[in-house]
Amino acid sequence: MAAETLVDCRIEVNSVVYSTSANQATSEFEANVQDSTTFGGSGWKSGLGGLKSGSINIAFLNDYADNALDESLWALLGTNVTVKIRKSSGSISATNPEYSGSVTVNQVVPFNVGVGEISKQELTWPTTGAWARAVS
C-alpha cells in the first residue's frame, strides 16, 4: 500500500459540498465489545461485537457572509443530517470510497479564535443510525 497526501478531500453536509471550507476531517467508528467470558476460557476474556457507533470531526474555516458557512451550520443545530466524506473529489471507486450516513448536529462553534488567527469551527458530531462504505 502506498502512502498518500490528501489534498482534495470531498466533504458534503446536508447535500452541500464544503470541501473549500474545511481543512481537516476525521471519521471514527467502533463496536462495543460484549463480554462473553466463561469459566471454561482458561482465564482469558472473550468478547462479541455489539452496538456500533461513531463520530465525525470536521474543521471548518468560518465564513460569516450572508448564506455562507456560519449561517448554514447554525440552521442545522439540533437536526440530523447526512454527511458524505471521501478522500478526493473524483468519482466513487474502490480506491476512492465514500463513507456516508447521518449525524446529529449537536454543536456549532461560531467563535474559536485568537488574535491574528484564522476563525475555525472544529466540530465533532455523533453518528446516528447505520453508515455505509460505497465503492461505486
Residue 73: exposure state from Cβ atoms within 10 A (0-12, 13-18, ≥19): buried
Backbone angles phi, psi at 38, to 5 degrees: -125, 170
1, part of any domain: no
9-31 pLDDT tens trace: 999 999 999 999 999 999 999 99
Of the pLDDT bands very low, low, confident and very high (cuts 50, 70, 90), residue 1 is low
5, part of any domain: no
| Beta strands at 16-17 and 22-35: parallel, antiparallel or unpaired | unpaired
Rounded to two decimals, what is the model's pTM? 0.90
77, part of any domain: yes
Rounded Cα distance between 88 and 95, Å, is 10
| Contacts (Cβ under 8 Å, ≥6 apart) of 109 | 121, 122, 123
Average pLDDT over residues 101-123: 95
Q: Are 32 and 54 in contact (CB under 8 A)?
A: no
The domain of 25 spans: 10-36+46-134
Q: Are 28 and 86 in contact (CB under 8 A)?
A: no
101, part of any domain: yes
4, part of any domain: no
52-96 pLDDT tens trace: 999 999 999 999 999 999 999 999 999 999 999 999 999 999 999
Tell me, letter by letter, the H, E, C secondary structure of 87-100: CECCCCECCECEEE
106, part of any domain: yes
Please count the structural domains in the chain.
Answer: 1
